[in-house]
A and B are shown apart, each in its own frame.
Chain A
Amino acid sequence: MTLVELDGRYVHRRHEAETDVVVVGSGPAGATVARHLAARGISVIVVEEGHEAKVSEVSGVRAMAALYRDMGTSLAFGNVSMPYLQGRVVGGTSVINGAISWRFPRAVLDQWTSDDPALGDALPYDLLAETEARIEERLHVRPTEPSVAGPKNLLLARGAEALGVAHRPIRRNERGCVGEGRCLHGCPHGHKLSMDRSFLPDAVADGARILAGMRVDRVLVEHGRARGVAGVSAAGGPFAIRARHAVVLAASAIQTPCLLRRSGLDHGPVGDGLTAHPGVSVTGRFPEPVRNWRGATQGHEVIGYRDEGLKLEALGFDLSILASRIPGVGRELARRLAEIDRYAVWGAAVRAAGRGRVRPGPTRPIVTYSLTAADVEKTRRGVRVLGETMLAAGAVEVYPGVPGFAPIVRDRADMARFEREGSLTASDYAMSMTHLFGTARMGSERASSVVRPDFRHHVAEGLYVADSSVFPSNLGVNPQIAIMTLADMCASNVARA
């Protein structure tokens, strides 16, 4: 069954429609808003730039091309250039994430409330927790079963256990996972309850309409009020969707501020204050087969370093990406690839203090972001603890992959030296950036925020922002449940208005 009412690949002429609420983006935030409003009988149109993916048909480079924005090569420029990964598909980034589901950290909310007490009133913790519980129930969030974890996740548990560091199976939104290790390329069996398998079908069943392959270029603002959105279909046909009641932006912390700025809504720090969780990874070789591409893609995590702003996870990559992380070139690489089943890659997500900026560019958003000196130190510690955990789990070789340090490490004492001797130059680390926040932050002060604590835009009436752009800071944990929770609260406000 298709979810999509209109596919922009076939929209050559002008298309117009009218609805109560138009939602831009079909990822966790947009799908949550659409589901909430449709369930209340409010007419909703969801406009998505990406297409509906047939994920069972693609793998490797084809999956990257079909599901990821710019094939996963969007770059943030700064003291280390990092790719940032976003889905461009019906269901958004939930289609290509590892299904990791964390509750909103209480300490983060307390910090937000301490910085701006109005946020505490708008986001009461009890309501937040109750909303999270409902979302988790619908998405069947549960700890990864050992039977589908696969060796890479069990080895991470073994390493953390040997070091005496807290760890646990990752809680994921899935039903019937068979551990095929394909989360990052879209679950071929539909077992991951990404938005295209959960909230969007719910919304459609309640009357919501989804337009795919339709890129929104601007919000239509008339006499200070958002009246709809306009853009271009994948086939080049212009379109305009009029909204009688509200426009909700849920296009991500990169696209939403660009859309606001392109619409002339550039008041306040729109596009500023980008925060993230940069990630660094380490590859290791084990004496036994790991088959890193099998088992739950991300099924186990080490949480004992969270107070330091680090969280370790096993990373289940496609063969092609795993191969690119194995050291060496030429015959050395060929020898290693002949036993590719022995290699594993684990990653550390860094709760970084760095801040960046997003601006619309001529063809793509221009994203700048730099790590602070403290972030680089934290990254260096992340490499050390990843390597130590691998060695404690039984790895025979670990490859830090940082210039100026031993390319192969075989014992834990050498790995510990990395924290003293490893580079403190950001660009020496191969990093990527996930979990982006803060580019249309919420707050009570109009000068220092873009939306009010109830998600309404400070300037344009009838305009709401529901995605992670509104988060005043990063979370230190995987944010999809937190995004859905706040989006649900945003939808309540839209419905009440």
Chain B
Amino acid sequence: MTEWHYEVIEPHGVPMPRGFDRGLLIDYSRGPNAPGPIRISKDPLVALSPDNADQLLGVTYLVVGGRCLETPTYFTLEREHPIDYVPYEDPAPSFDALRLTAIERRWAEQLFSAILATGELDTTAFWRCMEEAPAPLVRAGLRPMVHTLTFLPVVSGFGRPFFALSPEARERFLAAASGDRRYFVRQALVTLKTLACFAYYDDPIVRARAES
């Protein structure tokens, strides 16, 4: 069996054999086909009878140097049955748009390190897993949570963003945030703490040490 890719287009601005000035065109040059004659092939289609698009007549021609070379390859197409299903189109924005930027990820990692008091974590594999997983709510929520915990210290008595605080001040801020009356602030800390724990125990050495 031979398979080719194509697009069906209206034949405007495309070299056409004489007499074919209406109908549709199967254009193989627009599909990702391997190099070969098919890349210069086109099939004009016309209806065999008026007002009936279920039986079509086609012919194959080649376009070489802008000129049409007709071939004796004629064919008919007959509709087997009406289209009974159009796939549900998921209008979701690409989750990639929700991915943290490099600087936001750095802020998140600073929060992770301060929450766990572990120093730097190697989170490369963890972030890869997070990015591959279809968890749009986490992705959508993570950015405002990281921003909240990064910049809340500026207006809550610390006078600077989280990344500019000393290790002791970072810890004092996080302790205060964990008891904050504002639900979103508490939830932001709970979420970042949960992700920090996931990242920490994603390291097989850390996991093995804890389980032993």
A133-161 interface code vs B (CB 8 A; 1 in, 0 out): 00000000000000000000000000000
- A residues less than 8 Å from B199 (CB atoms): 61
Query: Roughly how many angstroms separate A234 CA and B189 CA in the complex, as a whole number?
Result: 34
Query: Which stretch, B37-45, B81-89, B102-110, touches the partner chain A?
Result: B81-89
Closest to A323 in B: B197
Indicate which residue in B88, B171, B190, B211 contacts A217 across the interface (CB closer than 8 Å).
B88
> B76-96, CB under 8 A of A: which get 1 and which 0?
000000001101101110000
With a cutoff of 8 Å between Cβ atoms, the chain A residues found around residue B201 in the complex are 60, 318-320, 323
A residues near B183, Cβ cutoff 8 Å: 427
Query: When A220-B85, A238-B87, A319-B211 are in contact, do A61 and B129 touch as well, CB less than 8 Å?
Result: yes
Stretch from B10-18, B22-30, B52-60, B112-120 forming part of the interface with A: B112-120
- Give the distance in Å from the alpha carbon of A218 to the alpha carbon of B88 in the complex: 8
Taking a contact as CB atoms under 8 Å apart, the answer to whether A331 and B117 are in contact is yes
Using Cβ atoms and an 8 Å threshold, which residues of chain A touch B170? 330
Q: Looking at the complex, which one of B84, B136, B181, B202 makes contact with A320 (CB distance below 8 Å)?
A: B202
B residues near A340, Cβ cutoff 8 Å: 210
Looking at A66-74, A99-107, A384-392, A472-480, the stretch in contact with chain B turns out to be: A66-74
Query: Contact between A323 and B117 (Cβ–Cβ < 8 Å)?
Result: no
* Chain B interface size range: 35 or more
Does the CB pair B193–A71 fall under 8 Å? Answer: no
Whether A403 contacts B129 by the Cβ 8 Å rule is no
Q: Considering only CB atoms, which chain B residue lies closest to A322 in the complex?
A: B197
Does chain B have a CB within 8 A of A373? no
- Bound: A73/B98 CA distance, A: 15
A73 x B174 contact (CB < 8 A)? no
Contact A333 B116 (CB under 8 A): yes
Interface string of A334-367 (1 = CB under 8 A from B): 1001001100000000000000000000111000
Which bracket fits the contact residues of A?
35 or more
Whole-angstrom CA separation of A218 from B85 in the bound complex: 10
Which residues of chain A have C-beta atoms less than 8 A from B196's C-beta? 324
Shortest Cβ distance from B198 into chain A, in angstroms?
4
Known contacts A73-B137, A74-B137, A329-B175; is-contact A61 B115 (Cβ 8 Å) = no
Of the candidates A231, A323, A362, the one whose C-beta lies within 8 Å of that of B91 is: A362
Of B130, B133, B138, B175, chain A has the most CB atoms within 10 Å of the CB of: B133
A330-B114, A331-B171 known; A62+B129 contact, CB < 8 A:
yes
B148 within 8 A of A: no
A376 CB to closest chain B CB (Å) equals: 15
**B193: contacting residue among A60, A324, A363, CB under 8 A:** A324
A329 to B111, CA, bound (A): 10
Q: How far is the CA of A318 from the CA of B210 in the complex (A)?
A: 11
Q: Taking A319-B210, A330-B170, A330-B171 as contacts, is the C-beta distance between A403 and B84 under 8 angstroms? A: no
- B132 at interface by CB-CB < 8 Å: yes
CA A424 to CA B92, docked complex, whole Å: 37
Closest to B174 in A: A329
CB of B79 to closest CB in A, whole Å:
15
On chain A, the residues within 8 Å of B130 by CB distance are 61, 65
* Contact among A75, A240, A363, A364 for B85, CB-based, below 8 A: A240
Inter-chain contact B197/A321, CB cutoff 8 Å: yes
B-facing residues in A160-209 (Cβ within 8 Å):
none
Pairwise interchain contact B88-A329, C-beta atoms closer than 8 A? no
Name the residue on A nearest B168 (C-beta): A330
Please give me the 7 A-B residue pairs with the lowest Cβ-Cβ distance, nearest first.
Answer: A217-B88, A330-B171, A363-B92, A65-B133, A71-B135, A334-B117, A320-B201
A-B contact pairs, 16 of them (CB 8 A): A59-B207, A61-B130, A61-B202, A70-B133, A70-B137, A73-B137, A73-B138, A220-B84, A240-B84, A320-B200, A320-B201, A320-B202, A329-B115, A332-B175, A333-B117, A340-B210
Enumerate chain B interface residues (CB-CB to A < 8 A): 84-85, 87-88, 90-92, 114-118, 126, 129-130, 132-138, 170-171, 174-175, 178-179, 181, 183, 186-187, 189-190, 193-194, 196-202, 207, 210-211
For the A-B complex with A70-B136, A70-B137, A330-B117 known, give 13 more contacts whose Cβ atoms are closer than 8 Å: A60-B198, A61-B126, A61-B129, A62-B129, A64-B133, A65-B135, A71-B135, A81-B187, A262-B88, A323-B201, A324-B198, A329-B115, A329-B171
A positions within 8 Å CB-CB of B:
59-62, 64-65, 70-71, 73-75, 81, 217-218, 220, 230-232, 238, 240, 262, 293, 318-321, 323-324, 328-334, 337, 340-341, 362-364, 403, 407, 427, 430
